[in-house]
Amino acid sequence: MTPAKPLPSYLAQRYHGWRATTYDENKFWYRRLAEEGQRPRAMLIACCDSRVHVTNIFGADSGEMFIHRNIANLVPPYAPSGAHHGTSAAIEYAVTQLKVAHVIVMGHSDCGGVRGCLDMCGGHAAELEEETSFIGRWLDILRPGYARIDTGPENNNPAQSLEKEGVLISLENLMSFPCVRAAVERDELSLHGLWNDIGDGRLYAFHGDTEAFEAV
Amino acid sequence: MTPAKPLPSYLAQRYHGWRATTYDENKFWYRRLAEEGQRPRAMLIACCDSRVHVTNIFGADSGEMFIHRNIANLVPPYAPSGAHHGTSAAIEYAVTQLKVAHVIVMGHSDCGGVRGCLDMCGGHAAELEEETSFIGRWLDILRPGYARIDTGPENNNPAQSLEKEGVLISLENLMSFPCVRAAVERDELSLHGLWNDIGDGRLYAFHGDTEAFEAV
Amino acid sequence: MTPAKPLPSYLAQRYHGWRATTYDENKFWYRRLAEEGQRPRAMLIACCDSRVHVTNIFGADSGEMFIHRNIANLVPPYAPSGAHHGTSAAIEYAVTQLKVAHVIVMGHSDCGGVRGCLDMCGGHAAELEEETSFIGRWLDILRPGYARIDTGPENNNPAQSLEKEGVLISLENLMSFPCVRAAVERDELSLHGLWNDIGDGRLYAFHGDTEAFEAV
Amino acid sequence: MTPAKPLPSYLAQRYHGWRATTYDENKFWYRRLAEEGQRPRAMLIACCDSRVHVTNIFGADSGEMFIHRNIANLVPPYAPSGAHHGTSAAIEYAVTQLKVAHVIVMGHSDCGGVRGCLDMCGGHAAELEEETSFIGRWLDILRPGYARIDTGPENNNPAQSLEKEGVLISLENLMSFPCVRAAVERDELSLHGLWNDIGDGRLYAFHGDTEAFEAV
């Protein structure tokens, strides 16, 4: 038995508005996409956070971006185990089936997941350390980042440090996937790391040569 | 060492356009969202497919929807194991921390993941059955659906049947999470199942009473 | 004998810059486009005028727009004759082979071709009336527009009137092509008429219901 | 009656982004261009193909290049007939009115038009031989090239041979225009032939002295 309810009316109303306008203006194209399948140019790995509006920032319309969103935009290390690995499956699909040209990991300011990891590693979040905490166990992916950042009093924004470090860890973990590494080495795929400041709207990209996030 | 490259210029150009228009028009609100944190009303679980443009369909601006996207919009059963469970972590975060009012699972037509599951269960995709296939192991979540649908010659669209069945399985699995079940029983959370026809833009919602997907 | 010379050095230099930056950032995608072919969403018919920078205005990267540019962005009426008809061939190719979803005709302010037509129709450009004038004979397509606009003293901008009328004539002529009409009637193609003010950068779209150009 | 629809919203959004950034940064210059008219240095004749991004390759901003784009970047022979000749009109306008210094013909790899001509001349495309086929009649311009290339089994890329031969035919046809020939002979105009490999981004220019395309 599924206790599902009809769509909340505020969403039903917006959907009808969308269908009468955006859909109607583009229906020929959407039908072709339905018939011929997608050919997205990039995969984006972003946070579930409601304030991270990736299609808007990149003006991406239907068909342009393959988007995976999880807590804190994390990529776990390559570790096949026979269990369900949603993020790894999405990466495998994008790289081996869709053959995207870019994988972009995008972090952001004031990330609740990153703050949770900071609390947990600092010993202030016992509930996240329990084995049954899905959030805690997911944020374990970010633990190596905690060891790398400066958590002393002279760092006035350790959360931001960890947000950016998390992007780098995800990029490193991406390279642990054989399919990703092979595509990068064949020059068929490029990796990109971004950090978005939600309040001022700025975007920063990690530059491998300077080893720093620089304003786009 | 992270082999990250700068943002491709076509995306950098669009980002600058966004920042000068949408961001600029809304900067006061975005700054408040940054300072006060998000308060999304709904969590949406959708597919990574580039043709599923959820914020567009629901006219959702920054701050409105907590969005998790994975292959085939699947929710695994509740099964804490100490390992990384990205989808379960996102659900736990949305329900216990953000206390969203709605969790919406949205499937769609022509889903590559669902087609993969159909092939795998029909014995036509040996590569997906390997233990190291992340895609295959992720789609195992959908296997119970294959047993429930009609795969005989009189069903001219078994893929669509499985796409819809997958939404129901995810809704059932959602109810296996103690935090979800408790919130639903306290009437603080409602669950919703949708299926989107990409080509004709229509949305169908599962109605618990008729046990059918009906046009919104 | 072809008296061709090497590329002027200022263009060679820019090409090398482009290849080291934009091409290099996007080479994976460009290779895929080369292997798999184009799938442009829209055809754009614009003027050759160097000030009309359509890819820039629409942020269109490689692969997005099929672009035909001629003097005064004109579409001749459907008239197969066994001779060379470049514009008609481009339309036929876009609609029947590429199956684009939108055909957009874009006029602009201060169009030299339109001004020539105005002069010619007003009796002030004998050289354009000669049978051997390619410019004059091409602008004959726009002659029916001259009859429709107000050329009296109370119209302080007859050139702009004719620029916009030219867009409408081209849209009408588009509909005289059986392949265009059929695709429009099958709801697989939509037509759009734009006029761009070069100096103030504004774009106006013709709205069929109000029969007027309105600011986008 | 013109069945024109408003601009699709994804293009409207990008236009607004362009106007708030690129236009805004350059508005003084664009206003001057609007008031004083264009003074392009070169005319470019390129293919309509969406993957040929000429302004990008040459870093050309508004006002720099007078661009004519048609199927397969062809120039027909000089043949005034009283009918509409869009390409000839564009050439006449560029050379006699704008007095450009360079006319550049740019072909490219994987050209659909050239492939069509190859099929037609090889007897594999009856539909293109019909008198009413605009595409076929336009590609007749390229027929003399088919006779000149090696179509035997030892040529593993006859399409590329014909793409390059097409550039040479267009250059020869350009010289059949009295206004072009006169300007070239007065040393006021130079002609250039290019071929662009879309996949690897390289540009080759025809050198009259070696009679070969050489990497720029």
Do B6 and C25 make contact, defined as CB atoms within 8 angstroms? yes
**Residue C146 to residue A40: CA distance in whole angstroms:** 46
pLDDT confidence of residue D1: 56
HSE, CB side, 13 Å, CA atoms: give it for residue C206: 27
Q: How far, in Å, CA of B61 to CA of B26, rounded? A: 10
Query: Which residue of chain B has the CA closest to A90?
Result: B71
- Is A26 an interface residue toward D (CB < 8 Å)? yes
Contact C38 D57 (CB under 8 A): no
Residue A165 φ/ψ, nearest 5 degrees: -65, -35
Q: How many CB atoms lie within 10 A of CB D142?
A: 24
Size of interface C-D (CB pairs under 8 A): 329
**Could you tell me if A25 lies within 8 Å of chain C, comparing CB atoms?**
yes
DSSP single-letter state for residue A4: B
Burial class (CB in 10 A: 0-12, 13-18, 19+), D97: middle
Closest by CA to D117, choosing from D128, D105, D102, D103, is D128
Contact A75, A167 (CB under 8 A): no
Q: Does B14 touch chain D (CB under 8 A)?
A: yes
Set of chain B residues whose Cβ sits within 8 Å of the Cβ of A31: 199-200
Facing residue for B18 by CB, picked from A8, A27, A56: A56
Q: Is C53 annotated as a binding residue?
A: no
SS3 state of residue C149: coil
Cβ atoms within 10 Å, residue B56: 19
Quote the CA–CA distance of D3 and C203 in Å, as a whole number. 19
Task: State whether residue B143 sits within 8 Å of chain D by CB.
Answer: no
Chains near B with 3+ CB pairs less than 8 A apart are A, C, D
Residue with tokens 């679980």: B45
Interface list for D 112-131 with C (CB within 8 A) = 112-113, 131
Tokens at D207, concatenated: 């050198």
3-state secondary structure of A15: helix
In which region does residue C110 sit, left (phi positive, over 0), alpha (psi from -120 to 50) or beta (all else)? left
Helix (H/G/I), strand (E/B), else coil: D5: coil
Nearest to A69, CA basis, from D188, B87, B18: B87
**Residue B143 amino acid letter:** R
A190 and chain C in contact, CB less than 8 A: yes
Alpha-carbon gap: D114 to the closest alpha carbon of chain B (Å): 29
Q: Which of residues 50-109 of C touch A (CB under 8 A)?
A: 59, 99, 101-102
Residue B10 distance to chain C (closest CA, Å): 6
**Residues of chain A contacting B35 with CB distance shorter than 8 Å:** 199
Structure tokens that stand for B155 in this block: 């069903």
Inter-chain residue contact C191 with D4, CB threshold 8 Å: yes
pLDDT tens, residue by residue, C29-54: 999 999 999 999 999 999 999 999 88
**Subunit contact C25:B17, Cβ cutoff 8 A:** no
- What is the Cα–Cα distance from C5 to C92, expressed in whole angstroms? 34
How many degrees, rounded to 5, is the angle at CA C147 between CA C146 and CA C153? 75
User: Which DSSP helix (H) or strand (E) runs through B181?
Assistant: helix B178-185
A201 touches D at CB < 8 Å? no
CA dist A3 and B181 (Å) reads: 10
Interface test with C, best of B7, B10, B15, B21 (most C CBs within 10 A): B10
Q: What does the pLDDT read at residue D2?
A: 66
Single-letter code of the amino acid located at B61: D
- Distance between CA atoms of residues A4 and B90, nearest Å: 20
Instruction: List chain B residues with CB under 8 Å of D14.
Output: 14, 17
CB count, 10 Å around CB of A22?
21
Rounded (5°) CA angle D118-D121-D126: 105
Q: Best mutation site among B134, B176, B179 for testing chain A: the one with the most A CBs within 10 Å?
A: B134
Spatial distance between the Cα atoms of A107 and A105, rounded to a whole number of angstroms: 7
For the segment A156-168, what is each residue's pLDDT rounded down to a tens digit? 999 999 999 999 9
Collect the ranges in chain B with pLDDT lower than 70: 1-2
* Domain boundaries, given as residue ranges, for chain A: 7-37, 38-215
pLDDT band at C79 (very low <50, low <70, confident <90, very high): very high
Of the pLDDT bands very low, low, confident and very high (cuts 50, 70, 90), residue C67 is very high
Classify residue B3 by burial, with Cβ atoms within 10 Å: 0-12, 13-18, 19+: middle
In Å, how far is C25's CA from the nearest CA of chain B?
Answer: 6
Rg (CA), chain D: 19
Taking CB atoms and an 8 Å cutoff, what residues of chain B touch A12?
Answer: 216
Pairing of strands D65-70, D42-47: parallel
Helix (H) or strand (E) holding B140: none
- Tell how strand D203-207 and strand D190-196 pair up: antiparallel
Residue C111 assigned ligand-binding role: yes
Each residue of B105-118: b (16+ CB within 10 Å) or e? Answer: bbbbbbbbbbbbbb
Tell me which DSSP letter residue D209 carries.
T
Q: How far is C17 from chain B (nearest CA, A)?
A: 13
Residue to substitute from D11, D18, D50, interface B, most B β-carbons within 10 A: D18
Among all residues of chain D, which has the CA nearest to that of B25? D20
Taking each continuous run of H as one helix and of E as one strand, the counts in chain C are 10, 6
How far is residue B23's CA from residue C149's CA, in Å, rounded to a whole number? 42
Which residues make beta-bridge pairs with B4?
Answer: A191
Where chain D has pLDDT below 70, the residues are 1-2
Query: If DSSP states are collapsed to H, E and C, what string results for A130-160?
Result: CCCCHHHHHHHHHHHHHHHCCCCCCCCCHHH
Cβ atoms D108, D49 nearer than 8 A: yes
Residue B190 CB contacts under 8 Å (≥ 6 apart), including other chains = A5, A8, B101, B102, B103, B184
Predicted local distance difference test score (pLDDT) of residue B209? 86
**Number of neighbouring beta carbons within 10 Å of residue C129:** 13
- A185 interfacial to chain C (CB closer than 8 Å): no
* Interface membership of D200 toward A (CB under 8 Å): no
Asked if residue A68 belongs to a known ligand binding site, the reply is no
- pLDDT tops 60 at residue A34: yes
Q: Answer yes or no: are the C-beta atoms of A88 and B139 closer than 8 Å.
A: no
A108 has binding-site annotation: yes
CA torsion through residues B86, B89, B95, B100, sign:
negative
Q: Report the residue of chain C nearest A58, measured CA to CA.
A: C59
- List of chain D residues whose C-beta atoms are within 8 Å of the C-beta of residue B17: 14, 16-18, 20-21
List of chain C residues whose C-beta atoms are within 8 Å of the C-beta of residue A31: 188
Nearest residue in chain B measured CA to CA from C22: B9
Nearest CA in chain C to A186: C28
Under 8 Å between Cβ of A54 and A65: yes
- Residue C193 pLDDT more than 60? yes
Tens-place pLDDT, residues C106-117: 999 999 999 999
Above 60 in pLDDT, residue A1? no
Q: Residue B120 is encoded by which pair of tokens?
A: 């795998």
Q: Please answer whether residues C117 and C203 qualify as being in contact, where contact means their C-beta atoms are separated by less than 8 angstroms.
A: no
With CA atoms as reference, the chain C residue closest to D70 would be: C68
Q: Which residue of D has its CA nearest to C216?
A: D12
Q: What are phi and psi of B194, to 5 degrees?
A: -125, 155
Name the nearest CA neighbour of A81 among C167, B133, B186. Answer: B133
Using the Cβ of A180 and the Cβ atoms of chain C, whether some distance falls under 8 Å is answered with: no
> How far apart are alpha carbons D18 and D1 in whole angstroms?
32
Substitution target from D7, D10, D13, D200 for chain A, most A beta carbons within 10 A: D10
CA–CA distance, A91 with A70 (Å, rounded to integer) = 13
Beta carbons within 10 angstroms of residue C122's beta carbon: 11
Beta bridge partners of A191: A103, B4
Instruction: Inspect the interface and report whether the beta carbons of D49 and C38 lie closer than 8 Å.
Output: yes
Q: CA of B78 to nearest chain A CA: how many angstroms apart? A: 10
Nearest CA in chain B to C58: B14
Tell me the mean pLDDT in the region A146-150: 94
Distance (Å) of CA C39 to CA A108, B212, C70, C72: 33, 37, 22, 26
What phi, psi does B106 have (nearest 5°)? -125, 110
**Residue B72: DSSP 8-state:** G
User: C152: which residues sit within 8 A by CB, 6+ positions away?
Assistant: none
Choose from D21, D25, D51 for mutation: most chain B CBs within 10 A: D21
CA distance D173 to D79: 10
Token pair in block for residue C213 = 């150009």
- State the nearest Cα–Cα gap between C21 and chain B, in angstroms: 9
DSSP A109: T
A65 - beta bridge partners?
A42
* Residue contacts between B and C (CB atoms, under 8 Å): 14
Cα angle vertex C147, ends C141, C150, to 5°?
Answer: 125
Give dist(CA A9, CA D41) in Å, integer. Answer: 59
Question: Which CATH fold topology does D38-215 show?
Answer: Beta-carbonic Anhydrase; Chain A (3.40.1050)
Cβ of C67 and D70 within 8 Å?
no
Whether the pLDDT of residue C1 is over 60: the answer is: no
Tell me if B201 sits within 8 A of A15, measured CB to CB. Answer: no
Of A27, A28, A59, the CB nearest to C59: A59
Paired strand residues for B204: B195, B215
Q: D108 pairs with which residues across the strands?
A: D196
Report CB contact under 8 Å: A26, D8. Answer: yes
The closest of B46, B73, B49 to B139, measured between CA atoms, is B73
C121 band by pLDDT with thresholds 50, 70 and 90: very high
Measured between CA atoms, the residue of chain C closest to residue B199 is C188
- Count of CB contacts below 8 A, A vs C? 34
C26 touches chain B (CB under 8 A): yes
pLDDT of residue B2: 66
A51: tokens are 């304030």
